[in-house]
Amino acid sequence: MKRFEGRAALITGGAHGIGFACTRRLAEEGATVVIGDIDMDAAADAASAINELVAPGVGSDRAAYAVHCDVTERGAVERAVAETVQRCERLDVLVSNVGVASGVPFADTDDAEWERQSDPTLSGSMRVIRAALPHLLEAPGGGAVVATASVNGLIACGGVAYSAAKAGVINAMKNLAAEYGANARGTVDAASGWVRFNAVAPGTTATRVWTERGAEGERDMREFGRLTAMGRPGTPDEIAAAVAFLASHDAAWITGVTLPVDGGLSVGPLAHILAADGN
């Protein structure tokens, strides 16, 4: 039995990188997936690629759809959620995956630059969750939200605005887990009426955010990878595997957690020191 058979998932930022890997993974496990993204050409290509790979989801003539969704605009978010529910007639899983970072130093980060990163990363996540909540609360067996946070939200990795926004996402998951858990909702013995909220905190993951900076970006990515216990950057599929677990009923008693998926970066510098001593 596929874990997401008969279920529908919306993945924001699902056209590229980690979001695309999550979209493909959920579709391969039986979900009907909706890619909500600002890059509609890439979202349409991503949906086509999945439709070629995967048989249609239950109650749908396709496995994957693309919808326009700019998480910085409330109206666009609400339309994207409405279109998702119209296409799939339900919404069980939300992967809130958009995050925007920049290399601007803190001293040069004016209010506009701060907003450019924190609005999509933190406020955007909250807009999508707020719009999706009424539908997630109706999901049989409970709804699930998985946010793509970052190790930046757990430890100092640079990028104050982005990191603070990711830390905000991590804390929001804890509060929302309590507010929308079955206990607070009075639905402990019901078939639906609660939502689990969890996050993954990826470390350096091989996506275009590194590779589009050419050789320098590739070198930075490998150097960050060498700081980890596993000694390499992660792949989008490795993040998607953790997202799929947290979104699935296998994680039915897990809510409010942030799972680092970082090759051991967040355990601290010991692995790096030992590797430097030994090599």
Ligand X SMILES: NC(=O)c1ccc[n+]([C@@H]2O[C@H](COP(=O)([O-])OP(=O)(O)OC[C@H]3O[C@@H](n4cnc5c(N)ncnc54)[C@H](O)[C@@H]3O)[C@@H](O)[C@H]2O)c1
Using only C-alpha atoms, what is the Rg of the chain?
Answer: 18
- Among residues 2, 65, 162, 180, which one is catalytic? 162
Q: Is 65 a catalytic residue?
A: no
Contact status: 17 vs ligand X (CB under 6 A) = yes
Query: Which H/E stretch holds residue 195?
Result: strand 195-202
What six digits make up the tokens of 117?
């990163």
SS3 content of the chain, % helix, strand, coil (to 5): 50, 15, 35
Applying CB under 6 A, the site for ligand X has a residue count of: 28
Q: Can you tell me which of 209, 229, 241, 254 binds ligand X, judged by CB under 6 A? A: 209
Q: How is residue 234 annotated by DSSP?
A: B
Contact status: 260 vs ligand X (CB under 6 A) = no
Q: Can you tell me which of 202, 225, 260, 263 binds ligand X, judged by CB under 6 A? A: 202
Task: For the CB of residue 173, give the shortest distance to ligand X in the complex, in Å.
Answer: 14
Distance CA 230, CA 22 (A): 22
CB nearer to ligand X: pick between 72 and 192: 72
Segment 87-146, which members bind ligand X (CB under 6 A)?
97-100, 120, 124
Contact status: 228 vs ligand X (CB under 6 A) = no
Q: Can you tell me which of 8, 9, 10, 18 binds ligand X, judged by CB under 6 A? A: 18
Piece of 34-42, 131-139, 190-198, 242-250 that binds ligand X (CB under 6 A): 34-42
Q: Can you tell me which of 9, 31, 38, 144 binds ligand X, judged by CB under 6 A? A: 38
Task: For the CB of residue 214, give the shortest distance to ligand X in the complex, in Å.
Answer: 16
Contact status: 69 vs ligand X (CB under 6 A) = yes
CA triplet 88, 172, 161: central angle to 5 degrees? 110
Query: Which H/E stretch holds residue 24?
Result: helix 17-28
Q: Can you tell me which of 33, 63, 67, 71 binds ligand X, judged by CB under 6 A? A: 71
CA triplet 30, 149, 145: central angle to 5 degrees? 40
Query: Which H/E stretch holds residue 77?
Result: helix 74-88
Q: Is 2 a catalytic residue?
A: no
Using an 8 Å Cβ cutoff, are 246 and 198 in contact? yes
Contact status: 218 vs ligand X (CB under 6 A) = no
Distance CA 181, CA 193 (A): 8
Task: For residue 23, give the 3-state DSSP assignment.
Answer: helix
Distance CA 71, CA 148 (A): 14
What six digits make up the tokens of 37?
């993204």
Piece of 105-113, 181-189, 205-213, 251-259 that binds ligand X (CB under 6 A): 205-213
Q: Can you tell me which of 39, 113, 138, 218 binds ligand X, judged by CB under 6 A? A: 39
* Interaction site with ligand X (CB under 6 A): 12-13, 15-19, 37-39, 69-72, 97-100, 120, 124, 148, 150, 202, 204-205, 207-209
Catalytic residues: 162, 166
